[in-house]
Amino acid sequence: MGLFLLKRTLTLIGTLVGASIIVFLVLEILPGNAAQMLMGPDASPEAVAALATKLGLDLPAWTRYWHWIGGLLTGNLGDSYAYSSPVLDLILERLALTMPLALLAMFFTTVIALLVGVTAAARHNKLGDVGLMGMAQVGIAIPNFWFAILLILVFSVKLQWFSAGGFEGWGDGFFSGVKSLLLPALSLAVVQAAILARITRSAVLEVMREDFVRTARAKGVSQRMVLWTHVLRNAMIPVITVMGMQFSELLAGTIVVENVFYLPGLGRLIFQAISNRDLIVVRNCVM
């Protein structure tokens, strides 16, 4: 067990180091200059060079990389070039919106996937199964941004049930804040729910072949009770495993969805930082 944990720890460290190098190098080769972006197109070369020196952008790449890694290890993520404030404070401030958004999307993903997956398995090889899995396949193919725009057109423009974007904060109450996140969370959840529904169906069908299911049916237990109590409980192991991986994908998906709905979350912070060449923010957000 000790050797296994050591191998896993070394693998994790190697993965993080490799990811940090890739992230740093990819951002380094992007065109543009943070000092030039901050000074504007009319700034003199001398002024741009002076700002670059002040920000440490004139240092060799390997020096800036080690400064960045040292800051990560000590909790000092540095200051944003564009906002002139600590990066850690910016991340924590934006996470106050992004984390509830991802959790709400995970809730929708789980509920939709379990309902669709179990229902499809109960109607295996019947019209209901084919129809639900066909809808799941369509859900997998739908881009998040396209579905987000569709939700805005239907529920914001046509029906006017929700605002088309923006977030007033949690000051107006919990339910008001959640209402602002419903459409973004649904647009995030559709693809992941479709994937999880197919996995749930497969897991349920596998468990339904077990002897204890036949025994429960022989004892007169209803089909609904067998499915939702006995079968689903034993089919949840692969489902929960996939859910853990999907949560990170939901966090990554906020980059697109938050910009569609104009939400001031972590995803929009990353987008704005890329536009402003505020690479120190991008690097720390990605890691």
Any residues with CB less than 8 A from the CB of 58 and at least 6 apart, and which? Answer: 49, 52
User: What is the average pLDDT value for the chain, to the nearest integer?
Assistant: 81
Mean per-residue pLDDT, 48-71:
75
Residue pair 118/227 in contact (Cβ under 8 Å)? The answer is: yes
For residue 237, count CB atoms less than 10 angstroms from its CB and return exposed for 0-12, middle for 13-18, buried for 19 or more: exposed
CATH 1.10.3720.10 positions along the chain are 92-275
Q: Which of 69, 100, 146, 91 is nearest to 281 (CA)?
A: 91
pLDDT attached to residue 214: 74
DSSP state of 170: G
CATH code, 92-275: 1.10.3720.10
pLDDT attached to residue 32: 67
pLDDT tens readout for residues 191-216: 889 999 998 888 888 877 777 777 77
Share of the chain above pLDDT 90, in %: 4
Residue pair 181/165 in contact (Cβ under 8 Å)? The answer is: no
- Scanning the structure block, which residue is given the tokens 């929700």? 162
User: Among the listed ranges 12-26, 27-41, 51-65, 95-109, which one has the minimum average pLDDT value?
Assistant: 27-41
pLDDT attached to residue 277: 80
Residue pair 67/56 in contact (Cβ under 8 Å)? The answer is: yes
pLDDT attached to residue 111: 92
pLDDT attached to residue 161: 82
Mean per-residue pLDDT, 228-237:
78
Flag whether pLDDT at 131 surpasses 80.
yes
Please indicate whether residue 261 or residue 84 has the higher confidence score (pLDDT): 261
pLDDT attached to residue 147: 87
pTM for this prediction: 0.80
pLDDT attached to residue 69: 80
Flag whether pLDDT at 39 surpasses 70.
no
Flag whether pLDDT at 107 surpasses 90.
yes
In the structure, what pLDDT confidence band is assigned to residue 93 with cuts at 50, 70 and 90? Answer: confident
Q: What CA–CA distances, in Å, run from 154 to 90, 99, 161, 163?
A: 33, 26, 9, 11
Give the integer Cα–Cα distance in Å for 152 and 139: 17
In the structure, what pLDDT confidence band is assigned to residue 40 with cuts at 50, 70 and 90? Answer: low
Looking at the DSSP bridge assignments, the partners of residue 86 are: 79
Give the integer Cα–Cα distance in Å for 129 and 120: 4
Name the 3-class secondary structure at 123.
coil
Mean per-residue pLDDT, 109-115:
91
Q: Which of 170, 150, 174, 124 is nearest to 261 (CA)?
A: 150
Please indicate whether residue 131 or residue 13 has the higher confidence score (pLDDT): 131
Q: Output the DSSP codes for 155-195.
A: IIIIS--S-SS----GGG-HHHHHHHHHHHHHHHHHHHHHH
Which range has the top average pLDDT, 69-73, 103-107, 247-251? 103-107
